[in-house]
Structure 1
Amino acid sequence: MLAIEVEFLMGRAVISQVMDRTQAEWPPHPQRLFSALVAAYGELGEQGDNQEQALRWLEGLPPPEIKADLSASLRSSPSYFVPVNDEVTKAVKDKNDFRHVLDRRTRQERFFPAAVPGDPVVVFQWPCAPGLEQHRAALRGLVENLTYVGHSSSPVRACLREQPVQPSLCPTNQGEISLRVPSSGRFDRLVTTHELREIDESIQPPLGRFQSYQRPSLVRRSIFSENALVVALEGGPRLGLDSTLPLIQHVRNALLARFGSSVSELLCGHDAEGKMTRQPHLAILPLGFVDSGHADGALKGIAFVLPSTASTAERRKLRAALAGPWQLHLGPLGSMTVRYIDPFSRGELKALDFSVYTQESDVWASVTPIVLDRHPKKNGAGVEAVIAMACERIGLPAPVEVRLGCVSAISGAPTERDFHGRSKQVDGKVRRHAVIRFGERVRGPLMLGAGRFIGLGLCMPLRKSKR
């Protein structure tokens, strides 16, 4: 865990929005902090390669969580015409300028909008920062030498925190706030811009990457990450959700081949001895055309969902393996083109929007049937109890009501008997569609039962109009 604490010593932050210089930026964007760290690196005289490596490592981390007072008072600014810094006065056409030195200085339009928070401390927090210990010393040197963030009239005190904080904003695929964040290559862009500004001061660094943020929810979440990697299936045979098992097996085999020889237990699902791991690992889920008036259950794509504990390195390796497009061979059925979908792209099919499966709801329904982990017993644990244990296994509370059937409550989803294919994880076990009601709202993704890693037991929120 990496957390950088920044305290605005004057009790206010003079930071202008990039798009509107008269308005204050609050909370400070993560990219603003990164730029300040690069500035500190330059002011320290670029001491060795350790600090440069630390900054390059930092820009490669996922967007941080932010703790800040979101009710800060934002003060807009009128324009001020401020004299520029002292410079040598040059004679023009051999004529002397007899004006006072302050009158000879040109004036530029300036804005000083400010944010005045109740708590002047802002924390940027990366819950998972693999490789931190290697760069901790260099980062501490940069952080402790921060002088200001934003305008130079906003002096700060900064340090590395040892304890995590409860964030006010968390990165998400679809959020209410958009903040600029650093990304790979940002350090080089800032250095290049600094060199160009020595020739032309009007040059500004590029805006960079924008990331959506939202306030964290207090609802319970499953152990799986909301940020799935999604691919579209194009061309080839027309398949439906009833082909989930054989398709996922082909996808998994192709993915392992693309990983190569070295693959972690979290990505392959097997330990060093070749046995199935008991730890949460990569889940491969079908994305079909469902929950619509014309839904027919056609397969449109595949979602790859990692546990929330997965490291950035493992996520990058998975993304690299999915990059393409590439061909998925299905034996006698032919081949399909697999195309990776950028999470910020627009215009894709609605069926490929995985955020539908990660929303908050108290009632969920299965899209693919749930495979019970154990056989229900008349005098022991019944079906409802088995499904309750499956919910608790992925970090959710036990449901207050479970309704079972052969038909899904989600339109377009095939019946339980339509699903074909064999797998040692699910063969000989009971399969049922279910509607599950919790006593509180929970957040997905929700995959239950013995087939949760191979596409079965996938649930989605049941709309109120269908309850």
Structure 2
Amino acid sequence: MPLRLDISLLSERYDAGGGEDPRLAEWPPHPARVFAALRSVAGEEELEPLAELECLAPPLIHASPTTSVGERRTRGYVVTNVRANKGGHQTHPARTAGFRQRTSSLPEDARVQFDWVDDSSLSDDVVAELDHLARRVPYLGRSTSSATLAFSRVDDPTPLPGLTTYEPTAGRGPLNIRVPYPGYLDELNALYREDQPAWQAAGPRSRRFYREAGAVQTSDEISEEISAMDVFNSPYPDLVILRFEELRPSGNLVSIFTEALRRKVMGQTQDPLPPALHGHGTPGLPHVAYLGLPFVGNEHADGQLMALAVAIPGLEHDERLRILRGILGNDPERDVLLRVNGFKQSFRLRYAPDETRPFTSTVERWTDPARTWATATPLVLDRYPKDGDLAAVVAESFVNAGLPEPRGVEVSKEPLMDGAVRLRPQELPKRCQGRLYTHARVTFDRPVRGPVLAGAGRYFGVGLFAPEYEEERR
């Protein structure tokens, strides 16, 4: 019998930012958010039911159609939580006031249901314990969004009248939903022990695309689902993107900015530093990579850096969380202030993974699977081509980086993608100066999921590739 979670929004609105960003509306409620709410009311002796729940396949979601959801936006200045020496608030010493915009969802029907159809591994006792936790959850999202939750088994998984069913899809879909996964509870436990917010556990592993059940798939979506079964995954499952909020530097300054970001992250990460962060004593294993994300692949692309990013290889969750906190620091608003050599002013960056624009600053732009990839920043060769065969050395660079050997390689002194960054020899990272470098386009036998990094400078801001599709090259 399917496991069902019934959610009733008592105020008939849902006050929650879009996954992690409070400026965007989240609808329908994400299962990962509900799971975090259950964890927040659970004692140490009540965690086993949650460990079993996270191992189930993502649930069906029954909710008001997204087309019928209204939104309400609120704007204003609120007191920040962090004390600062320069804080000058009139009534709250050592605090400042920051401008905030928040959005609420106003659904036509304030009821939501989750159905785990295949829950055969859960006993009746576990379901009863989950229900006991659910009834103690006071709200979902912000505290102004009071709710009641209840678990039960149902003979008939038919949703309430008026609700639309959304199901997970193997390919892309219109809804990007965060769901729990095996290991999610461990990440939440580590965060709760250190009094850190739960959104830090929301990495790419929690993302699943959903679509309306019964909707007719397009031929492109069907072919994407088929090809998704044979995708080669990047050695970097996590990509943390920090968007420039105001000033956007020129792409030829990429190595200066990635070096500044590297210094900041290493300075903010708690000792002892994870080996993946400094790269010493881990031969053959990928290190943390620092990237500049230029505006490329569009006829209007100018190569400006829209964001900086940190690519994190597959690590144990404790190491991953330490690095994530090293990236974001202690600012609960997820702002990063970066000082860069040669500039008097600091650069403000923001971690806002659920913002969908500008597209250059999204994870999808750099990770969507593709067979063809082209350099956004030049690739520095791992070795000198003694026989003059640049293409062979470029192909070898991918194998050295833990990626498949491409079946086709095109090299060029000039960029092969609109907006791709041009660098002079002195603008390369210091560790790469004196080496040969080139732009390249490579084609693989099967789709490869990004980020795609290759070459001797891949950890320091060069050798970044962007996916390229046939329709973009016509």
Query: In the alignment, residue 377 of structure 1 is paired with which amino acid?
Result: K
Query: What is aligned with 2:208?
Result: 213
Query: In the alignment, residue 332 of structure 1 is paired with which amino acid?
Result: G
TM-score by length of 1: 0.59
Q: Quick check: 363-372 or 438-447, which moved more?
A: 438-447
Displacement after TM superposition at 1:404 (Å): 0.3
Unaligned runs of 5+ in 2: 10-29, 63-110, 132-149, 156-166, 193-201, 211-224
Query: In the alignment, residue 238 of structure 2 is paired with which amino acid?
Result: N
Query: Which of 282, 286, 298 lines up with 1:280 in the alignment?
Result: 286
Instruction: Name the SS of the counterpart of 1:284 in structure 2.
Output: strand
Superimposed CA distance per residue, residues 320-348 of structure 1 (whole angstroms, 9 cap, x where no aligned partner): 2233434322233223223231322x365
Displacement after TM superposition at 1:364 (Å): 0.8
Query: What is aligned with 2:391?
Result: 384
Query: What is aligned with 1:453?
Result: 459
User: Given the alignment of the two structures, is residue 296 of structure 1 paired with residue 307 of structure 2, yes or no?
Assistant: no
Query: What is aligned with 1:312?
Result: 317
Query: Which of 433, 441, 455 lines up with 2:439 in the alignment?
Result: 433
Query: What is aligned with 1:178?
Result: 177
User: Given the alignment of the two structures, is residue 231 of structure 1 paired with residue 236 of structure 2, yes or no?
Assistant: no
Displacement after TM superposition at 1:312 (Å): 2.3
Q: In the alignment, is the contact (CA less than 8 A) between 1:244 and 1:455 conserved in 2? A: yes
For residues 412 and 451 of structure 1, the distance between their equivalents in structure 2, rounded to whole angstroms, comes to 20
Aligned residues: 343
Displacement after TM superposition at 1:318 (Å): 2.5
Displacement after TM superposition at 1:53 (Å): 6.7
Query: What is aligned with 1:82?
Result: none
For residues 176 and 258 of structure 2, the distance between their equivalents in structure 1, rounded to whole angstroms, comes to 36
Query: In the alignment, residue 313 of structure 1 is paired with which amino acid?
Result: D
For residues 54 and 390 of structure 2, the distance between their equivalents in structure 1, rounded to whole angstroms, comes to 41
Query: What is aligned with 1:367?
Result: 376
Q: In the alignment, is the contact (CA less than 8 A) between 1:364 and 1:460 conserved in 2? A: yes
Q: 1:23-172 to 2 correspondence within 5 Å? A: 29=31, 50-52=44-46, 66-67=56-57, 121=120, 150-152=151-153
User: Given the alignment of the two structures, is residue 266 of structure 1 paired with residue 276 of structure 2, yes or no?
Assistant: yes
Instruction: Name the SS of the counterpart of 2:235 in structure 1.
Output: coil
Displacement after TM superposition at 1:260 (Å): 4.8
Displacement after TM superposition at 1:289 (Å): 2.0
Q: Percent identity?
A: 20
Instruction: Name the SS of the counterpart of 1:465 in structure 2.
Output: helix
For residues 330 and 399 of structure 1, the distance between their equivalents in structure 2, rounded to whole angstroms, comes to 36
User: Given the alignment of the two structures, is residue 252 of structure 1 paired with residue 262 of structure 2, yes or no?
Assistant: yes
Q: In the alignment, is the contact (CA less than 8 A) between 2:231 and 2:369 conserved in 1? A: no
Instruction: Name the SS of the counterpart of 1:332 in structure 2.
Output: coil
Across the aligned residues of Structure 1 and Structure 2, the Cα RMSD in angstroms comes to 4.8
For residues 304 and 284 of structure 2, the distance between their equivalents in structure 1, rounded to whole angstroms, comes to 32
Query: Which of 415, 419, 433 lines up with 1:408 in the alignment?
Result: 415
Instruction: Name the SS of the counterpart of 2:458 in structure 1.
Output: coil
Displacement after TM superposition at 1:366 (Å): 0.5
Query: What is aligned with 2:93?
Result: none
User: Given the alignment of the two structures, is residue 420 of structure 1 paired with residue 414 of structure 2, yes or no?
Assistant: no
Query: In the alignment, residue 320 of structure 1 is paired with which amino acid?
Result: R
Query: In the alignment, residue 353 of structure 1 is paired with which amino acid?
Result: T
Instruction: Name the SS of the counterpart of 2:151 in structure 1.
Output: coil
For residues 345 and 120 of structure 2, the distance between their equivalents in structure 1, rounded to whole angstroms, comes to 55
Query: What is aligned with 1:243?
Result: 253
Query: Which of 320, 332, 337 lines up with 1:327 in the alignment?
Result: 337
Distance 1:398-1:121 versus aligned 2 partners, 3 A rule: farther
Unaligned runs of 5+ in 1: 1-7, 20-27, 42-48, 75-110, 124-139, 155-167, 189-208
For residues 239 and 208 of structure 2, the distance between their equivalents in structure 1, rounded to whole angstroms, comes to 17
User: Given the alignment of the two structures, is residue 463 of structure 1 paired with residue 472 of structure 2, yes or no?
Assistant: no
For residues 129 and 422 of structure 2, the distance between their equivalents in structure 1, rounded to whole angstroms, comes to 61
For residues 391 and 413 of structure 1, the distance between their equivalents in structure 2, rounded to whole angstroms, comes to 19
Distance 1:36-1:338 versus aligned 2 partners, 3 A rule: closer
For residues 320 and 120 of structure 1, the distance between their equivalents in structure 2, rounded to whole angstroms, comes to 35
Q: Tell me which structure has the larger Cα radius of gyration.
A: 1
TM-score by length of 2: 0.58
Displacement after TM superposition at 1:376 (Å): 1.4
For residues 391 and 240 of structure 2, the distance between their equivalents in structure 1, rounded to whole angstroms, comes to 32
Distance 1:287-1:173 versus aligned 2 partners, 3 A rule: farther
For residues 412 and 178 of structure 2, the distance between their equivalents in structure 1, rounded to whole angstroms, comes to 45
Superimposed CA distance per residue, residues 84-123 of structure 1 (whole angstroms, 9 cap, x where no aligned partner): xxxxxxxxxxxxxxxxxxxxxxxxxxx9x99796x66479
Instruction: Name the SS of the counterpart of 1:335 in structure 2.
Output: coil
